[in-house]
Amino acid sequence: MSSPVMTKEGKVRDLRSKEEIRAERRKGRTGVYLVLPGLLVLVLFFALPVVVLLAMSLYTRPPGAEIGQFVPALQFSNYATVLGAYWPELMRSFGFALIATTLALIIGYPMAYLVAVRLRERKLLQGILLVLLIAPFFSSFILRTQSWKQILADEGFVAQTLKAVGLLASDGHLTATAFAVVAGLTYNFLPFMVLPIYANLERLDTRLLEAAGDLYASPLTTFRKVTLPLSAPGVFAGTLLTFIPAAGDYVNAALLGNNRNTTMIGQVIDSRFFRVIDYPGAAALSFVLMVSILILVTVYIRKFGTKDLM
């Protein structure tokens, strides 16, 4: 595309011909028409709501008002209040999400590698395993989380066996623990980790692995120096797609946790909204969550990111 060029006298002169300008305008118009409807939806129901949320987080409850009655204000102390009260839940959410993301990566990478590289020649099996990655979405993740709860229940087979071999104390639990919540998070967001890595490894040229082997690299070195760096964009996208929803999730904590030391920030936001009817507090917490994730993601992208991850 040619563009306006600065002349020696410092004036900007448009060097494009009539035809070039016309062609560019035509393309520009079509592009805007294509994007506008969807963009409108995103502005009205994403950008604007976030602004409304921000405004709401500063609302105040006038003295003597009924429950759920708030007036617009700039009460920044809302933030101090909720952060003071729910700092541990916020930190716990990020901690759980981080552990779950790491576990999902450790479990998910071999899955993706198995399907994308090892089964490359066996298209049918590859296809079926790929389906098995996506199909659980249709059996409802709450139903699956609930089944974990029953599988790991105190009177269940798994807990009893662990107790019998002494891996679990006789009065120990598997459910209603932080372990169960993290396991649930790992489980539920595993496909979000596997699919981007799979999409990346599928394009991996296996001749590169042979070349590395030919150049005296052991399988481990080949993996470290060739496979892993090449699949970095997939790993990058996968970790983000796992970490972000995990940090905000509350279904796992609600179903698999207890109400003492596994509460996550999502649960708090939900109960502030619907039980306590503290809209400003809930909005402030939501906003804190959103901004902290954006900061974390930005730092992460700066540090490891490629621009074309999505």
Partner 1 sequence: MKQKLGRWLIPVVGGLAFVYLLVPIAYIFAFSFNDAGRTNLEWRGFTWDNWANPCGAPAVCESLANSIQVGVVATVFATALGTCIAIGLVRYRFRFRNLTDVLIILPLATPEVVLGASLLAQFLNLGWELGYGTIVISHVVFCMSFVIVTVRARVSSLDPRLEEAAADLYASPRTTFWKVTFPLLIPGIVAAALLSFAMSFDDFIITNFNSGNYQTFPKFIYVAATRGIPAQANVIGSAMFLLALIVVIIGQVMAHRKRKALEQAQ
Partner 2 sequence: MSTSLASEPTQAGNGRTSEGADLHLNKITKRFAEFHAVQELSLTIPSGTFFALLGPSGCGKSTTLRMIAGLEAPSSGSISIGGQDVTGLPSHQRPVNTVFQSYALFPHMTVLENVAFGLKRKKDRKAMEKARQGLEMVELGHLASRKPAQLSGGQQQRVALARALVNRPQVLLLDEPLGALDMKLRRQMQMELKGIQTEVGLTFIHVTHDQEEAMTMADIVAVMNGGRIEQMGPPRELYELPRTAFVANFLGKSNLMRGVVKASHDGVLDVEVAETEVHVLAERAVTHEGEIVVGVRPEKIHLSRNAGDEPTHSNELSGTVIDASFTGTTTEYLVDVPGVGRIGTFAQNRGEQPADVGDTVYLSWDTSHSFGLAGDEQVAAGVNAT
The answer to whether 207 and 117 are in contact (CB under 8 A) is: no
Q: Is 133 one of the binding residues for partner 1 (CB under 8 A)?
A: yes
Least distance in angstroms from the C-beta of 168 to partner 1: 18
Nearer to partner 1, 127 or 172 (CB): 127
User: Within 260-289, which residues bind partner 1 (CB under 8 A)?
Assistant: 265-266, 269-270, 273, 279, 282-283, 286-287, 289
Q: How far is the CB of 118 from partner 1 (least distance, A)?
A: 6
With 0-12 / 13-18 / 19 or more C-beta atoms within 10 angstroms meaning exposed / middle / buried, residue 164 is: exposed
Residue 79 interaction partner, one of partner 1, partner 2, none, beta carbon < 5-8 Å per kind: none
**Contact call for residue 111 and partner 1 (CB under 8 A):** yes
Cα dihedral across residues 221, 224, 230, 235: positive or negative: positive
- Closer residue to partner 1 (CB): 76 or 137: 137
Give residues in contact with partner 2 (CB under 8 A): 1-3, 5, 15-20, 22-23
CB 179 within 8 A of CB 214: no
The answer to whether 213 and 226 are in contact (CB under 8 A) is: no
276: partner contacted, choices partner 1, partner 2, none (Cβ within 5-8 A by kind): none
Contacting partner 1 (CB under 8 A), which of 38, 64, 84, 166?
Answer: 38
Spatial contact of 90 and 265, defined as CB atoms under 8 Å apart: yes
Nearer to partner 1, 7 or 22 (CB): 22
- Asked whether position 16 contacts partner 1 by CB under 8 A, the answer is no
Residues contacting 11, CB < 8 A, separation 6+? none
CB of 23 or CB of 276, closer to partner 2 = 23
Dihedral sign for Cα atoms in the order 61, 65, 70, 74: negative
Distance CA 172, CA 149 (A): 15
Distance of CA 170 to the CA centre of its chain: 37
Q: Under rule CB under 8 A, which residues in 46-65 are in contact with partner 1?
A: 46-50, 52-53, 56
